[in-house]
Amino acid sequence: MAFWTRSYRAALPVSLAVALAGTTMWIGPASVFPVAAGQGDDIVTRPSSDAVAPSVLVPDSRAAATDAVAADALKLDDRSAETAPSKALPAAAKAYASADPEAPIAFPLPDAAMTPAAPVPEVPDPARAAQVAPDVDLPALRQAIDAYRRGKVSEGDRLRDGFTDPAALALLEWVAIRAGSGIGFERTVSFTRTNPEWPAGPLLRRRAEEALLTERKNPATVRAFFAGTRPSSAPGKFALALAFRAEALDEDAASLVRDLWRSETFGRALETKVMDAFPGVLTRVDHRFRMERALLKEDYESAGRAAAYAGGGYASLVRARRAVEDKSSSAASALNAVPPSLRSDPSYILSRAQYLRRADKPVEAAAILATAPTNGDVLVDGDEWWVERRIVARKLIDIGNPSLAYEVAAGHSGRTVEKRIEAEFHAGWIALRFLDDPAKASSHFAKAATIAETPISLARVAYWQGRAAEAAGDAGLAKTFYERAALQPIAYYGQLARAKLGQASLPLRVVSELEPAAATAFENRLTTRALRMLEAASLKDLALPLYIDTANRLTNPAEISALGNLAVDVRNSRALVAIGKLAVQRGLPLDAHAYPTIGIPDYEASAAVPLVEKAMVFAIARQESQFDPRAQSSVGARGLMQMMPATAQRTARRVSASYDQDRLTSDPAYNARLGQAHLGELMEDWRGSYILAFASYNAGGGNVKKWIDAYGDPRRTGVDPIDWVERIPFTETRNYVQRVMENLQVYRSRLEGKSALLIEGDLQRGAR
């Protein structure tokens, strides 16, 4: 059976200060938090089902799905969790990430500050919710919000005039600005000055920058707006460049235009305006850079225009790159059509390597990659190059050439923290497990340790540092590293480290509640009251980004916990997961909120299939939909368990239940019942193997059978299940299995009060 996966991307939050007309306007954290594809926490991924052919899910797929709930509901992509959190971590965090085993470990909290007992599952507090219920005209609020979201600003303003509650007024103005239709520069800036504590700063800032350009503000206004910081968008950069030119600051203007051209994505209309306004500023080098960047993003229209601006045969590079990416039968001829003078260009080298790798010639592909430049400015985006190196390296391992695989991985030019950690891990893992060189492996793991900051990265790096030390015969050093990894008990490798150390418990961190006075102050905040209004108005899709913005802005763990309690009161498990993950990513002790127990209603389990533990259903649902009962993917997977209709229909027949496709998204208990039954079928298919069942749920049984043929059967003695999971060629599925496995350990504690850690046994289930 084949299953798809879903993925959403989000941007790293930052804090910005903008000075305007003598008034400092603080722009707070962004709406979403980071995580890129790779080794992250969870993600709402592309759905999974046997209704899709196995061949569709490919190891080097870069496709990302769109928001299935609402176009303006910002989603979290937690697969990578390698990117630095929005706020600087405590100094101890960097010591914790150090390669030095003697470095002080003060982050996160040691076991003494954790509780070995499971926190009580969260229960909504009707009394608390009733005390703070919003006293506003909810139908009128919904009408005003709907008008703004439809771009009917005048209608929205008319309805807004009927409100006097400051929270309602702030909420409606935020919605109006967020919708981006007809809200001018002055109005946007006025809102940020009047409501300095309101989150979503980068979004508000982006709207203001757009208005600067569209309203053709005078140079003095533009310069005043950017007095405290640089522009963060293409319209903002262009507006400031025009202001520089108006004041005869030609060098500053030219520098900003080149940066705009190289770093921003925008369409033909703005391209034309930029080139008309600054003739002669952009060079062939600038156009080539823009072309390379667009090609790496598979934006062939933009790449084609940039190639035309550059001239000199660059259009042939675009045609070749597109033919290779599309797996066209004309790929070879398109590559051959590239002039010899351009065959040292990075885009040609990457296209050639990818073509050879897809032709099952990984050795030849590695030779081509070895000729690539190492300068990041020349490569344009070293992260995309690393993706190809990773795929080639794994293919080289598969054909029995680990030495060359190591060279390919070690020669990476990763740009972001996420990809650098992933690349160093691969190089170290290959050196340790396939070259039997723990010293070489240790050097790569140590490099990753110096930049790892998130729980998953910290645990992963420290665990493998321990494995390398153990392989080198240094048991004491290995224990030190395992202890370091074990400080991340909700992460897969942290759990494995605890098992290595014989620590049989799974401690979950808890946070103290706010004092009564502080709790009252928190409830009286505009954003808190606005969230309750949105929840009361059944506008969860709009509430979600405000929850995320608020959680990003807060620094006090008790206040973040209070925000989570608000989500508990209204049974918004999707928001609760987001809040908890944001906190955990930043090293804050909100483990319970990150693993809510309110996400799945009671459901009827069928005896027609093997029963699976309730914790497994929660573990899968958290990974699949983050408990959004209405979630729908671009390929049709639906509801809590992301069931494809064909799979759900077949499973319904198996358990003698009626089938109703609409109930997959309208009845979460129905979806959970069928999802649980399908999990039981997979457990039956794989004779109790959790690894194989999870991998099948995500990538399909056909792919899993191929991996068993290639890498051995993890149920058999002599096949290391940890290595087997790491060898899964689909990054999405590799991450999926690890995340579901760690979720399972936590949910046993959350749901059943069992703090025993069973991950080693779970990895070996089905052994024969």
Report the alpha-carbon distance of residue 417 to residue 619 in Å, rounded: 28
Structural domains of the chain, count: 1
Q: Which residue has the higher pLDDT, 50 or 375?
A: 375
Strand partners of residue 638: 632, 643
pLDDT at 75 over 60: no
Q: Name the pLDDT band for 134 (thresholds 50, 70, 90).
A: confident
Q: How many CA within 13 A on the CB side of residue 64?
A: 16
Q: Is 98 exposed, middle or buried (0-12, 13-18, 19+ CB in 10 A)?
A: middle
Q: What is the 3-state secondary structure (H, E, C) of 467-536?
A: HHHHHCCCHHHHHHHHHHHHCCCCCHHHHHHHHHCCCCECCECCCCCCCHHHHHHHHCCHHHHHHHHHHH
What is residue 125's predicted lDDT score, i.e. its pLDDT?
Answer: 65
Which pLDDT tens digit goes with each residue over 238-253? Answer: 999 999 999 999 999 9
Beta-carbon count within 10 A of 569 CB: 21
Q: Region 742-758: what's the mean pLDDT? A: 91
pLDDT at 737 over 90: yes
Q: What is the full DSSP assignment across 334-355? A: HHHTS-GGGTTSHHHHHHHHHH
Report the alpha-carbon distance of residue 697 to residue 620 in Å, rounded: 9
Which pLDDT tens digit goes with each residue over 485-501? Answer: 999 999 999 999 999 99
Torsion of CA 468, 491, 616, 561, to 10 degrees: 170
pLDDT at 372 over 80: yes
Q: Region 731-740: what's the mean pLDDT? A: 97
Q: Rounded to whole angstroms, what are the CA distances from 557 to 199, 579, 747?
A: 17, 11, 22
What is residue 289's predicted lDDT score, i.e. its pLDDT?
Answer: 95
Residue 117 falls inside a structural domain: no
pLDDT at 283 over 90: yes
Q: Which residue has the higher pLDDT, 721 or 6?
A: 721
Q: Name the pLDDT band for 129 (thresholds 50, 70, 90).
A: low
pLDDT at 26 over 50: no
> What is the share, in percent, of the chain residues with pLDDT greater than 70?
83
Residue 42 falls inside a structural domain: yes
Q: Which residue has the higher pLDDT, 186 or 79?
A: 186
Strand partners of residue 77: 43
Report the alpha-carbon distance of residue 137 to residue 141 in Å, rounded: 6
Q: What is the 3-state secondary structure (H, E, C) of 283-304?
A: CHHHHHHHHHHHHHCCCHHHHH
Residue 140 falls inside a structural domain: no
Task: Name, in order, each residue with C-beta under 8 angstroms of 558's C-beta and a sequence gap of 6 or more.
Answer: 511, 512, 513, 514, 518
Residue 198 falls inside a structural domain: no
pLDDT at 109 over 70: no
What is residue 128's predicted lDDT score, i.e. its pLDDT?
Answer: 58
Q: Name the pLDDT band for 596 (thresholds 50, 70, 90).
A: very high
Q: Region 128-144: what's the mean pLDDT? A: 80
pLDDT at 481 over 50: yes
What is residue 38's predicted lDDT score, i.e. its pLDDT?
Answer: 34
Give CA 286 to chain center in angstroms: 30
Is the Cβ–Cβ distance between 441 and 423 less than 8 Å?
no
pLDDT at 25 over 90: no
pLDDT at 120 over 70: no
Q: Region 349-366: what's the mean pLDDT? A: 98
What is residue 543's predicted lDDT score, i.e. its pLDDT?
Answer: 97
What is residue 588's predicted lDDT score, i.e. its pLDDT?
Answer: 92
Q: Region 618-638: what's the mean pLDDT? A: 95
Residue 112 falls inside a structural domain: no
Which pLDDT tens digit goes with each residue over 439-458? Answer: 999 999 999 999 999 999 99
Q: Name the pLDDT band for 42 (thresholds 50, 70, 90).
A: very low
Highest mean pLDDT among 18-32, 127-141, 518-532: 518-532
Phi and psi (nearest 5°) for 43?
-150, 150
Q: Name the pLDDT band for 43 (thresholds 50, 70, 90).
A: very low
Report the alpha-carbon distance of residue 83 to residue 392 in Å, rounded: 24
Q: How many CA within 13 A on the CB side of residue 108?
A: 32
Task: Give the CATH number, domain containing residue 752.
Answer: 1.10.530.10
What is residue 359's predicted lDDT score, i.e. its pLDDT?
Answer: 96
Highest mean pLDDT among 109-118, 200-209, 417-426, 586-595: 417-426
SS3 222: helix
Report the alpha-carbon distance of residue 254 to residue 401 in Å, rounded: 49
Which pLDDT tens digit goes with each residue over 328-345? Answer: 999 999 999 999 999 999
pLDDT at 435 over 60: yes
Measured CA angle at 394 (ends 391, 398), to 5 deg: 135
Residue 520 falls inside a structural domain: no
Q: Is 417 exposed, middle or buried (0-12, 13-18, 19+ CB in 10 A)?
A: buried
Give the single-character DSSP code of 610: -
Q: Which stretches of 374-437 are DSSP H helices?
A: 376-379, 382-398, 402-410, 417-433
Q: Name the pLDDT band for 32 (thresholds 50, 70, 90).
A: very low
What is residue 64's predicted lDDT score, i.e. its pLDDT?
Answer: 33
Q: Region 707-728: what's the mean pLDDT? A: 97
Question: What does pTM read for this prediction?
Answer: 0.83
Q: Region 77-91: what's the mean pLDDT? A: 30
Q: How many CA within 13 A on the CB side of residue 322?
A: 14
What is residue 228's predicted lDDT score, i.e. its pLDDT?
Answer: 86
Q: Which two tokens stand for residue 550?
A: 């608020």
Report the alpha-carbon distance of residue 612 to residue 615 in Å, rounded: 8
Q: Name the pLDDT band for 752 (thresholds 50, 70, 90).
A: confident
Q: How confident is the prediction for the chain on average, in pLDDT?
A: 85
Phi and psi (nearest 5°) for 71?
-60, -25
Task: Name, in order, each residue with C-beta under 8 angstroms of 409's C-beta and a sequence gap of 6 or more.
Answer: 389, 390, 393, 423, 426, 427, 430
Q: Among all chains, which residue has been given the structure tokens 């973040």?
A: 560
Is the CA virtual torsion 325, 300, 374, 8 positive or negative?
negative
Domain that holds residue 645: 1-30+35-75+599-768
Residue 675 falls inside a structural domain: yes
> What is the share, in percent, of the chain residues with pLDDT greater than 90?
77
Residue 133 falls inside a structural domain: no
Is the Cβ–Cβ distance between 246 and 238 less than 8 Å?
no
Q: Which two tokens stand for residue 504?
A: 């049989």
What is residue 725's predicted lDDT score, i.e. its pLDDT?
Answer: 98
What is residue 767's predicted lDDT score, i.e. its pLDDT?
Answer: 73
